[in-house]
């Protein structure tokens, strides 16, 4: 199993550009989520999904959009990038919501200039 994969690993955007961060998992996990990590902060939840076709907002959802058309994929879209979205983004998945371990991807470092 590849686990949780994320592409790209690094990305530089100009303010106002849009892009999609890709996330895929091959563990047949129902639950997937996106976090962002800023310097001196822990990870904060952006959006999450409890299954294909079902998504919900986390703590910091503004400026991001998600969809979940398959169990495997959970892309994160930046609609109009802003410097405040410069961060490291992690995708995670888990088997269920009952305290099971969340498996994290390797992260995407995004810089918005």
Partner 1 sequence: AQTVTQSQPEMSVQEAETVTLSCTYDTSESDYYLFWYKQPPSRQMILVIRQEAYKQQNATENRFSVNFQKAAKSFSLKISDSQLGDAAMYFCAYRHSGAGSYQLTFGKGTKLSVIP
The residues binding partner 1 (CB under 8 A) are: 31, 33, 35, 40-45, 48, 50, 58-59, 88, 90, 92, 97-99, 101-102, 104, 106-107
Least distance (Å) between residue 8 CB and partner 1: 14
Measured CA to CA, the distance from residue 70 to residue 80 in angstroms comes to 25
Mapped onto helix, strand or coil, the DSSP state of residue 84 is: helix
Measured CA to CA, the distance from residue 29 to residue 83 in angstroms comes to 32
Least distance (Å) between residue 99 CB and partner 1: 4
Measured CA to CA, the distance from residue 20 to residue 35 in angstroms comes to 14
Least distance (Å) between residue 5 CB and partner 1: 12
Cβ proximity to partner 1, 2 vs 14, nearer residue: 2
């Amino acid at each position: 199993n590849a686990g949780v994969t994320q592409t790209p690993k690094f990305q530089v955007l100009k303010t106002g550009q849009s892009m999609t961060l890709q996330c895929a998992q091959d563990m047949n996990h129902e639950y997937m989520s996106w976090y962002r990590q800023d310097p001196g902060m822990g990870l904060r939840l952006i959006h999450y999904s409890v299954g294909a076709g079902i998504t919900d907002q986390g703590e910091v959802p503004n400026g991001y959009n998600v969809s979940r058309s398959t169990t495997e994929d959970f892309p994160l879209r930046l609609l109009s990038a802003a410097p405040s979205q410069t961060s490291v983004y992690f995708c995670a998945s888990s088997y269920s919501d009952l305290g099971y371990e969340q498996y994290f991807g390797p992260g995407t470092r995004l810089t918005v200039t």
